[in-house]
Amino acid sequence: MSLLRRLHPLDWLAGGLLVLGALCVATGLLPTGPAADVMQRIGPLVVFLATVIVLAELTGKAEVFDVVATWVARAGRGRYPLLFCLCVLFASVTTITLNLDTTAVLLTPVMLALATRVGIAPVPLAMTTVWLANTASLLLPVSNLTNLLAADRIALTPSEMAATMWAPQLAAIAVTMACLWGFYWRPGRRGETRYTPPPLPRPADRVLFRVCAVACAGFLLAILLADVPLWSASMAAALIVVVAFWVRRRDALRLALIPWRLLVLVPGMFLVVETVNAHGLHDVLASAMGSDNGLAGMLRSAAVGAGVSNVLNNLPAYLAGEAAIPVANHEQLLALLVGVNVGPVITPWASLATLLWFERCRWHGTRIDLGRFFGTGFVLAVAGTLAATLALAATS
């Protein structure tokens, strides 16, 4: 009973989804063929989740994130508005050039370490990471897996996609900045008016620090410059770090490093979504979005994409929505992309990046008020999706 009392609401959600998914297969609601296809498809994703979180956790123990956070704090020169702009720029560039999941895993510890180093509340910095991990993922195919799927459908090169999505991306980031400042960063929320830039830290184990820093840099370069699958890059980097800790700090290697909650939640979530999709989701989405390729159809598609993402998850929401949009309706498809990228900021399961972010916050000990998360996320989802869709319509 004591173990059950310690479970987080997301633990109950993860377990419930896995049980529900298993029941769908056992009762025949989801045939074994599609279920096996789903499990095969998410295998690399599960490997990525497990290895990249181990990589991030051990890298944090090696104090790499403390050093990076200190650089950011010192660049802010003690002024919160400047620090805010630097954090927004840092999170946006990381998401655009790498991908939103990497931002959630590797940048979240940097932001939380920054809060510790500077002595300010961690929640504003944490929210900057999770919101921009989602809303800044429109510009390039690499920024989000949904972008890669959309680029294949409408045959856009990276430069062509950037030329098409620059205005929606700027609009989404601008709305995100306004919401971040109003809800979390303004003086009444953050407390102090200035902060004292901290001195550069000296890692206790310089060998571990260097190995972990090189492993993270190698991971980022591999996924940015080479055609390397995320799961293989994260596995290789995590293996290097684990070996280094095995040699120098074996006591830090524990089974608790593995993100059991996510490894339970992801298979259950995909099984449940696949079941729903097999029983009429396509028809419902086609009816909700219509076939208008003009402004009205774009607004409907963006709204449906954002709504379904927060109910299910943005990846299955995009796949189901894409199948329901006529092949020739490129603007309507891009509006759906806006909805599934900018909109999934209300519920913890709306995007994989948000789930990864929650896991990082839990490890750090940062408490996220779910009620406030839902409420402020709803405002951002509505305002950001609307602004980005209107910007797309104005420039397409």
Grouping H, G, I as helix, E, B as strand and the rest as coil, residue 194 is: strand
Q: What are phi and psi of 313, to 5 degrees?
A: -175, 150
CA dihedral for 50, 315, 356, 107, sign (positive or negative): positive
Residues present in the chain in total: 396
Cα pseudo-dihedral 179, 374, 98, 332, rounded to 10: -90
**How far is it between the farthest Cα atoms of the chain?**
61
Q: What are phi and psi of 350, to 5 degrees?
A: -65, -30
pLDDT digits (tens, 9 = 90+) for 338-394: 999 999 999 988 998 898 898 788 877 888 899 999 999 999 999 999 999 999 999
Band the pLDDT of 335: cuts 50, 70, 90: very high
Structure tokens at 377: 């996320």
Band the pLDDT of 242: cuts 50, 70, 90: very high
82-86, 206-210, 264-268, 381-385, range with the lowest pLDDT: 264-268
Kindly report the pTM of this predicted structure. 0.78
Rounded to whole angstroms, the Cα distance separating 178 from 173 reads 9
For residue 79, list its beta bridge partners: 194
* CB 379 within 8 Å of CB 386: no
Structure tokens at 159: 């430069």
Q: What percent of the chain has pLDDT over 70?
A: 95
Give the end-to-end CA distance of the chain in Å, rounded to a whole number: 58
Rounded to whole angstroms, the Cα distance separating 353 from 343 reads 13
What pLDDT score was predicted for residue 312?
81
pLDDT digits (tens, 9 = 90+) for 60-99: 888 887 788 788 888 888 888 888 998 899 899 888 877 7
Rounded to whole angstroms, the Cα distance separating 342 from 137 reads 8
CB atoms within 10 A of CB 346: 22
pLDDT digits (tens, 9 = 90+) for 168-205: 999 999 999 999 999 998 876 655 677 778 887 788 88
Structure tokens at 234: 């994260």
Band the pLDDT of 4: cuts 50, 70, 90: low
Long-range contacts of 201-205 (CB under 8 A, 24+ apart): 201/63, 201/66, 201/67, 201/70, 201/117, 203/62, 203/63, 203/64, 203/66, 203/67, 204/63, 205/62, 205/248, 205/249
Rounded to whole angstroms, the Cα distance separating 198 from 25 reads 55
